[in-house]
Structure 1
Amino acid sequence: MKVAFAGTPDFARIALARLHAAGFEIPLVLTQPDRPAGRGMKLQPSAVKVFALEHGLPLAQPRGLRLDGKFADDAAAARAALEAAAPDVLVVAAYGLILPAWVLDLPRLGCLNIHASLLPRWRGAAPIHRAIEAGDTETGITIMQMDAGLDTGAMLLVEREPIAPTDTTATLHDRLADLGGRLIVEALELAAAGGLRPLPQPSEGLSYAHKIEKAEAAIDWRLPAVQIERRVRAFDPFPGASFTLGGESLKLWRAEPVAGNGKPGQVLRAAGDELVVATADGALGLRVLQRPGGRRVAAADFLRAHPLEAGLMLASAGGD
């Protein structure tokens, strides 16, 4: 079976590596163009591009795939490359571009998507983040037959994965990426034997995982402690939950709801290894923090370097 691949970040790289290790012929890899990143904002290749180059896989980086769009020349070149590759199937994982009809219709077996949720829950761009933020106790991987809708296609394989109370997007991402790589290999082996059985998505339980915006990372102490703690884990590693102290934006990487009452944003305890801030419902123990340009440190180390007084008011995201 000839398997073309479209993906960009590390989640996709892991799936591509599994397909390569399983011995599938990969006649073409599609990934996003290099993007500026880091302090120097130098162009950086995607994780998928790095893998493709290391393993000598044919590569294309179109800026768009719509033949009538702004990047029509790129789309036409990508179409010619895909037609020449003549894949039986296109596997898609966190690619970042919407696939127009000509792409969906080109492979003999269509396009299969590795989606990091239990569809129809958390269709959209950020299913891992949103599952943690919402307090879900489980998620999983759905291998989906892609159609023209947004994550609306028939389900081919589904496997569940529990979400631990301490999971961050980083830890859950890694487990789901491994699971997705294993399931897509299984799905293609079943497809080769004619053993896949598409199942329409349930009509109940639909939710959308909207893209994470940097503005969401600002902690609003007017929210309940439980909700803030979930956001801290959901926004690790990106964009990182943050709050302002003394004009400086600090990252909060680990927190824990604790007993305590006060005005939202009020420091209730700041001694030893305890840094506790009141919220709209309960209090939040700040466990791991980071100053700009610094490293992640435990609350005790932070307080030794930056003593705080109980009663200090931290600004909410709304500036109150």
Structure 2
Amino acid sequence: MTQPLRVIFAGTPDFAADNLAALLASQHDVIAVYTQPDRPAGRGRKLTPSPVKVLAQKHGIEVFQPSSLKGEGEQQALAALDADIMVVVAYGLLLPQAVLDIPRLGCINVHASLLPRWRGAAPIQRAIEAGDTQSGVTIMQMDAGLDTGDMLMIRTTPITKTTTGGELHDTLAKLGAEALIETLDALTAGGLAPTPQPEAGATYAAKLSKAEAELDFHQDASALAARVHAFNPWPVTWCALGDDRLRIHLAHVLDDGEATVPGTLVSHQGGLIVACGKEGRERLAITHAQLPGGKALPVSELLRSRADRFPIGSTFGHPQADGKANTEAPS
């Protein structure tokens, strides 16, 4: 067995907690955890600790929650931990160069994309939305840029036409955790050579917003289906249904039909079949949806109980002369 590393772990959401769990089960020694400050959550807006903090406290690990690492005092506190390496996974704070330089082996990041594609905040969802057929994780030696550091290890996984954002998240969390331990073990043994990222093919994965989850049925069916899957389980795509909002959880593309006004419900055969595309010839089959105040259900169940809400010929969404959907989601 190689000599264990003294590790500082920095992360916040469930994806990071999965990586921390793998690290805690490894030979390496987690000496401290950094995570975002507790945030209001739920209907009561109660201050809630991050999944990483909950896991760290369960294992008796000291937790630090600074709002920034730019101050000299915070940097001195981190340096006093005398870590060999800092592992960063979806932490949510930028690390200044002074922090990157503190651990003996620097700072490494587990990033949920095949860099340089999808640098930034939402690589999992943007890969599905763009129709990528492959994703993965990159273990990266961090530098001062945004996900621009040298690559230490890459692991890949396919994206299918039915892969959702939640499913890919869970796959990559497991894949990333495995690759992280392999990377730390290899660094301990001194047998891992960094590879510079190519600039060709670099893309930016912008943070998700609720506003962009509204479906515009003037778009191609394939683009709509990809967005439905990418935004499942959050923020969940939706469209107007009269004065209400129909949340759409799963959908797929069907063969083209006759030209119809985009957004028109043309059939109940196999789901809610909606005309889409510029000429309304394409068809999107919505198979899992959610009415206000209800649960997400297969459309077959919705039609049995609430067929009155889905008459053939009704219009989904807000018809727009310019083919653009509204930019603000209803409250």
User: Normalised by the shorter chain, which TM-score bucket?
Assistant: over 0.9
Would the aligned equivalents of 2:6 and 2:29 in 1 still touch at CA under 8 Å? yes
Is residue 179 from structure 1 mapped to residue 183 from structure 2 by the alignment?
A: no
In structure 1, what is the equivalent of residue 321 of structure 2? none
Gaps of 5+ in 1: 68-74
1:202 aligns with 2:209: no
Alignment match of 2:276 (pick from 274, 279, 288): 279
Tell me how far apart the structure 2 counterparts of residues 274 and 60 of structure 1 sit (CA, whole Å): 49
Counterpart amino acid of residue 41 in structure 1 = R
State the match for 1:107 in structure 2.
103
Equivalent of 1:146 in 139, 142, 145: 142
TM-score when scaled to structure 1?
0.94
2:266 to 265, 268, 278: 268
Match of 2:27 in 1: 23
Segment drifting more, 247-256 vs 301-310: 301-310
1:273 CA displacement: 4.8
User: What is the match of residue 37 of structure 1?
Assistant: 41
User: Hey, what does 1:302 align to over in structure 2?
Assistant: 302
Contact 2:119 2:205 survives alignment (8 Å): yes
Q: Distance in 1 between the 2:156 and 2:7 partners?
A: 25
- Report the 3-state secondary structure (helix = DSSP H, G, I; strand = E; otherwise coil) of the residue aligned with 1:6: strand
Q: Which runs of 4+ in 1 moved over 6 A?
A: none
Partner Cα separation in structure 2 for residue 192 and residue 300 of structure 1? 55
Cα RMSD between the aligned structures? 1.5
- Residue 27 of structure 1 aligns to a residue whose secondary structure is strand
Contact 2:6/2:83 (<8 A) preserved: yes
Change (3 A) 1:193 1:289: same
Structure 2 stretches lacking a partner, 5+ long: 319-323
2:275, 2:282 within 8 Å by CA — same for their partners in 1? yes
Aligned residue type for 1:201: Q
Query: Which amino acid in structure 2 is aligned with residue 122 of structure 1?
Result: W
Find the counterpart in structure 1 of residue 50 from structure 2: 46
Task: Describe the SS at the equivalent of 1:254.
Answer: strand
Residue 120 (structure 2) aligns with:
124
Q: Distance in 1 between matches of 2:107 and 2:229?
A: 32
Distance 1:159 1:64 in 2: 31
Aligned length: 311
The answer to whether the 8 A contact 2:265-2:315 is kept is: yes
For 1:186 and 1:314, locate their aligned partners in 2 and report how far apart those are by CA, in whole Å.
49
> 2:166 aligned with 1:170, yes or no?
yes
Supply the distance in 1 between the matched residues of 2:223 and 2:246 (Cα, whole angstroms): 19
Q: Cα distance, 1:319 vs. partner?
A: 5.0
**Contact kept? 1:4, 1:29, Cα under 8 Å:** yes
- Find the aligned partners of 1:122 and 1:197 in 2 and give their Cα distance: 23
Mapped partners of 1:81, 1:292: distance in 2: 49
Q: 1:249 is paired with a residue of what secondary structure?
A: strand
Q: CA deviation at 1:122?
A: 0.5
Contact 2:214–2:326 (CA under 8 A) maintained in structure 1 = no
Q: Which amino acid aligns with 1:59?
A: V
Secondary structure, counterpart of 1:28 in structure 2: strand
Distance 1:192 1:240 in 2: 42
How far apart, in 2, do the equivalents of 1:304 and 1:243 lie?
A: 21
In 1, the alpha carbon distance for the partners of 2:183 and 2:271 equals 49
Tell me if structure 2 keeps the 8 A contact 1:144–1:157: yes
